[in-house]
Amino acid sequence: GRSQLLLRLLRLIILPLVVCSLVGGAASLDPASLGRMGGWALLFFLLTTLLASALGVGLAFALRPGVGTKALEAQDAQLPQTKEVLDSFLDLFRYPAHRGLHVVAAFHTWPSRLSAVRHNFTLFFSSQSGLEPIGREVEGMNILGLVVFAMVLGVALRKMGAEGELLICFFNSFNEVPREYAPVGIMFLIAGKIVEMEDVGRLFASLGKYVCCCILGHIIHGLLVLPLIYFLITRKNPYRFLWGIVPALATAFGTSSSSATLPLMMECVEEKNGVSKHISRFILPIGATVNMDGAALFQCVAAVFIAQLNNVPLRFIQVITILITATASSVGAAGIPAGGVLTLAIILEAISLPTKDMSFILAVDWLVDRFCTIINVEGDAFGAGLLQCYVDHNEAGLASLGPELAEVKDDASVVPPSPEADPLILKTVKLGGPAGDANTCEKESVM
């Protein structure tokens, strides 16, 4: 039916979508123009994203939202063939040196298994036996290898300057393709899954636990983790700072879009929390592209939830893979409806879980996504507050920060957001200064 057509369409473009979204995310930042403080801001954003991912995994294992649901037991035989997750990391280095460097690097992996091997010696030693790893190429997407390749390509395109802008615009435009057909099949996809279930009530109970797990994780990260980091560094009351951005957080919840929130967030941090215009207009657009704490948290919860639905135990190395992949993929999350759900496919492929079960996540994404947006923009604001605190305590002041802040214009304009139905599609004119020129074709995403 239509739901199967949707799944096939998603699978058809999942490889180019992963590459394009990661290339677009990596190309949105120019390391040379960020400067020293931009580098520290990126480090803060990546650290909080990693903490959010760890919190999501921990809550999913503690609350076990997918345990006890027998709805998918009949589908266990259809699970993808598992492989050692260490092989996924080794694929990062195997295929760049592969002969001919052709498409096998994207569509083949190299799983290995321990096999008993007997060695016979005829002169002075008797025969010996042992276990040796034996590997072979199998069909399957080399997700982690593609992540590294795409991010390196994105940085290289940004370094090319004007010559690389055309390709960057192409990659950003490709991310919008699924929004044209995804809404048509989502309803049929979810309805078909519900009809297949033997115990629909238990399935809805599990989805409710999943939503509660995500919301609880967002509350802990937004009210405890981020304020604690702010307090430890600045020794100031983080909740007073948080109270100053409540209007922006309410806008983020209502619109589920950081593009609609960005102008109000700038106003809040500047007028109510004392952040200078130089800093807010420098750090907030960077955070809107890179800082995806809420998306990373929900992706980790969703990955563990789907594993529990399919009765697949996760090993420690698989958990590490979830953390790393969620942190990396959230940076390049596509700015399209349910963009965070589509990047979830990267994590599921990396740990050999079925991507078809993402339909359950789509059913409740309209609610979870609003909390994701709140956490994303809150992290951006705290990053601006930390940078302002650093400037206030630095004897040299703004002069020590180099041209990256000195050249940011106080009256830098933000393009008003266009009407949106879902997270976040915003084509902006890049802020003046060394971060880029006005002709840069760039997209910001919250999911």
pLDDT at 440: 42
Give residue 199's pLDDT band: very low, low, confident or very high (50, 70, 90).
low
SS3 118: strand
**Of the spans 18-32, 190-204, 373-387, 427-441, which averages the highest pLDDT?**
373-387
Percentage with pLDDT > 90 across the chain: 24
pLDDT at 107: 44
Of residues 232 and 97, more confidence is placed in: 232
CATH number, domain 34-84+199-444, options 1.10.4080.10, 1.10.3860.10, 1.50.40.10, 3.40.50.970:
1.10.3860.10
Q: Of 329, 334, 322, 366, which is closest to residue 214 (Cα–Cα)?
A: 366
Q: State the Cα–Cα distance between residues 383 and 203, nearest whole angstrom.
A: 39
Comparing 293 with 93, the larger pLDDT belongs to: 293
Distances (CA, A) of 48 to 43, 52, 287, 335: 9, 6, 12, 21
**Cα distance between the two ends of the chain:** 29
Q: Which of 108-117, 350-359, 413-422 has the highest mean pLDDT?
A: 350-359
Residue 135's region, left for phi above 0, alpha for psi from -120 to 50, else beta, is: beta
Report d(CA 282, CA 38) in Å as an integer: 8
Task: Quick: pLDDT tens for 216-245.
Answer: 999 999 999 999 999 999 999 999 999 999
Among 8-22, 162-176, 358-372, whose mean pLDDT is lowest? 8-22
Q: Where are the domains of the chain?
A: 34-84+199-444
Question: What radius of gyration, in Å, describes the C-alpha atoms of the chain?
Answer: 23
Helices and strands, counts by H and E, the chain: 18, 6
**Whether the predicted model's global pTM rises above the 0.85 cut:** no
* Contact assessment for residue 266 and residue 375, using Cβ atoms and an 8 Å cutoff: no
Alpha-carbon gap, residue 146 to 107, rounded angstroms = 10
Residue given tokens 């238990």 in the structure block: 202
Higher pLDDT, 392 or 115: 392
